[in-house]
Amino acid sequence: MRRKLAVLLVATLVPMSGAVACGQAVEDRVKQEVDKQVQKGEDRVNKELEKGQKKLEKEAGKVQKQIEEGAQDAKKQAEKKAGSGQ
């Protein structure tokens, strides 16, 4: 009787431990997939940030050039007025 009870107990516990191991494998796989998707998202965000940064730098360069040209024009006009006033 004890032997039958022990066999039944072992027979019950073995599938349960297998189910736990299978559940852990599924959990690990899901975690890996989530990590992979998070990494893809981070890469995409970083790419967009770099693109935005380059665009800002380009626009800042254009504005700086316009300011320099405006300053040169103003200087030339001031020199003309000073030269014609003499």
The domain spans of the chain are 1-80
pLDDT at 63: 96
Residue-wise pLDDT for 50-86, tens only, equals 999 999 999 999 999 999 999 999 999 988 888 775 5
pLDDT at 25: 82
Which has more pLDDT, 81 or 41?
Answer: 41
pLDDT at 26: 83
Single-letter code of the amino acid located at 80: K
Sole residue written with tokens 């003309």: 80
Residue-wise pLDDT for 5-40, tens only, equals 676 666 666 665 555 567 788 888 999 999 999 999
Cα torsion for 81, 84, 85, 86, to the nearest 10°? 130
Q: What is the pTM of this model?
A: 0.52
pLDDT at 62: 96
